[in-house]
Amino acid sequence: MGGICCRFILVGGLVFGSACSAEKRGGENDWPEERAAMVALLREYGIRDERVLEAMGRVKRHRFIPEPYRSRRTAYDDRPCPIGFGQTISQPFIVAYMTEAMQIRPGEKVLEIGTGSGYQAAVLAELGARVFSIEIIPELAEHARRVLAAEGYDVQVLTGDGYKGWPEHAPFDVILVTCAPTDIPEALVMQLDEGGRMIVPVGERLQRLVILRKEGGKIRRKEDLPVRFVPMVKGGEKNEMP
C-alpha cells in the first residue's frame, strides 16, 4: 500500500495547468474500453464495492469535462482533470474511494458540496441516491445542470454557498464535500440525519479526509487519507435555484 499512498497525497483535487488539453480527439467516441480499463485500475487500487465500480463503469466521465479539456487521457487516466475556472474533477480513485466510504443505499438523500463538472453527482445518482448538489461558481453550476440533464440524471443543483448547506432538503443521509474547508462547517453537521455519514477534506495545504458519523445524536470522527482538494471558498451571497 505504501506506493499507492504517495499517489493519494498529490492528487485529490489538484489544480492542473492546461497541459492535459493537448490530446483532444475529434468526433463522438464513447470510450467504453478506456472506461473499463479505468474500472480495472480502481479494482487494482483496492476499490471493492461492486456497485461503485459498476456505477463508475456506466457514467461517461468525458461528457462532464468541458470540451477544451476533454481527451481520452484526461477523461480516463487516474488523474484529476481541469474543468475551467481554476477547478478540477478529482481523480477517479478519489471519487471511487469517497463514494465507497459513504456506503450509499438506493433512495438515500445525499448532499454534495462542490458540484464542479457534475461527475461525482452522476456517480451518486447511478447508485440510486436522491442527489442535491451546491456549486458556488454560477457557470459551473449551469454546465453541470446541462450535462446531468443531457445524460439523464435527476440531480438538483443549487447555485450558492455550500457552507450553509441546503436546509430546505435537510436532513441528509450522506454529505460528501469535494472542496476543502479549514474546519468542518457546523451547518453541514447539523443537516446530517441520525445514522448519517459525512466525508470532507479538511485543511489548507495539508489536508485529510475526515469521516463523520452521527449516532445516538453524537458525532464520531475518523481521520482518513491525506489528500489535496481545491479550497472551499467563503461565499456569503444568497443561495438560489435557476
The residues assigned a catalytic role are: 90
Nearer to ligand SAH by C-beta: 190 or 195? Answer: 190
Contact 4, 44 (CB under 8 A): no
Closest CA to 65 of 128, 20, 32: 20
Q: What is the DSSP letter of 67?
A: G
Contact 181, 161 (CB under 8 A): no
Closest CA to 193 of 171, 168, 169, 165: 171
- Beta-sheet strand order (sheet of 155-159): 155-159, 130-135, 109-113, 172-177, 192-203, 207-215, 218-227
Nearer to ligand SAH by C-beta: 26 or 148? Answer: 148
CB of 221 to ligand SAH, least distance (A): 21
CB of 242 to ligand SAH, least distance (A): 15
Residues of this chain that interact with ligand SAH (CB under 6 A) are 13, 87-89, 113-114, 116-117, 119-120, 134-137, 140, 161-163, 178-179, 230, 232-233, 235
Nearer to ligand SAH by C-beta: 178 or 207? Answer: 178
Nearer to ligand SAH by C-beta: 87 or 191? Answer: 87
CB of 47 to ligand SAH, least distance (A): 17
Centre a 10 Å sphere on the Cβ of residue 207 and count the other Cβ atoms it contains.
22
CB of 151 to ligand SAH, least distance (A): 13
